[in-house]
């Protein structure tokens, strides 16, 4: 930690699987805002997604995120929501992080699509008091400003048109994932036979 008030970025997601879009957001927001670290917080139960599709077990998604950040300075995988269990609410995660590091500053990093859904989050109105919002653009998705009165900054990141949805389809079709996810994540998907991975 570099200063008396540690600055932590929180990039929450399902990470099913993690990809370079997540990593580009993490490293560029960390740099732009001089954050000590960015946590990739793996949702235990992404309640807004369950019911719409089958979500990969949280332990597999955490393993992929750990592989994705291996050797990356200042970007860490967080299992906090897995340890807490149950549906994953960002407000609870922020409270836990704040309690663990009193005096620290928290920054919630959101891609354009996630920013658009902010008001549907559980106890969304409590967020502004807990963290600043950091918005990053995402190709093909319009990033609306957050609700009136919410503090936010925008950070420019390289726009890459990659999504976990597309990557899952790629595995099913046998198309390559190389350069869209770190090599360690490809290995993890292969070893755990995720997304219907079939050996060549």
CB of 171 to ligand ATP, least distance (A): 13
- Residue 173: both structure tokens together: 């079709």
CB-wise, 9 or 13, nearer to ligand ATP? 13
Instruction: Report d(CA 184, CA 190) in Å as an integer.
Output: 10
Angle between helical axes of 183-191 and 58-69 (0-180°, round to 10): 150
- The CB-nearest residue to ligand ATP is 111
User: Of the two residues 7 and 168, which places its CB atom closer to ligand ATP in the complex?
Assistant: 168
ω before 17 within 30° of 0 (cis)? yes
Please say whether the dihedral angle defined by the alpha carbons of residues 172, 178, 184 and 190, taken in this order, is positive or negative. Answer: positive
> 20 or 98, CB closer to ligand ATP?
20
Residue (of 181, 41, 55, 51) closest to 109 by Cα position: 41
Closest CB to ligand ATP among 1 and 172?
Answer: 172
Contacts with ligand ATP, residue ranges (CB under 6 A)? 13-16, 21-22, 25, 110-111, 113-114, 136, 138, 160, 162-165
Least distance to ligand ATP from the beta carbon of 168, Å?
7
* CB 116, min distance to ligand ATP, A: 9
């Amino acid at each position: 930690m570099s200063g008396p008030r540690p600055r932590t970025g929180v990039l929450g997601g399902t990470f099913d699987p993690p990809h370079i879009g997540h990593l580009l957001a993490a490293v560029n927001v960390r740099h732009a805002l001089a954050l000590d670290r960015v946590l990739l917080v793996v949702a235990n139960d992404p309640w807004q997604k369950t019911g719409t599709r089958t979500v990969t077990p949280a332990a597999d998604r955490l393993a992929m995120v750990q592989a994705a950040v291996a050797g990356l300075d200042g970007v860490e995988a967080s299992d906090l929501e897995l340890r807490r269990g149950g549906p994953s609410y960002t407000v609870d995660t922020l409270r836990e992080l704040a309690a663990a590091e009193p005096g620290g500053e928290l920054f919630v990093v959101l891609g354009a699509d996630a920013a658009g859904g902010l008001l549907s989050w559980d106890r969304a109105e409590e967020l502004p008091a807990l963290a600043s919002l950091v918005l990053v653009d995402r190709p093909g998705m319009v990033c609306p400003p957050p609700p009136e009165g919410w503090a936010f900054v925008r950070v420019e990141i390289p726009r890459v048109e990659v999504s976990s949805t597309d990557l899952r389809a790629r595995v099913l079709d046998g198309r390559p994932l190389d350069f869209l996810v770190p090599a360690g994540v490809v290995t993890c998907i292969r070893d755990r036979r995720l997304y219907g991975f079939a050996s060549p």
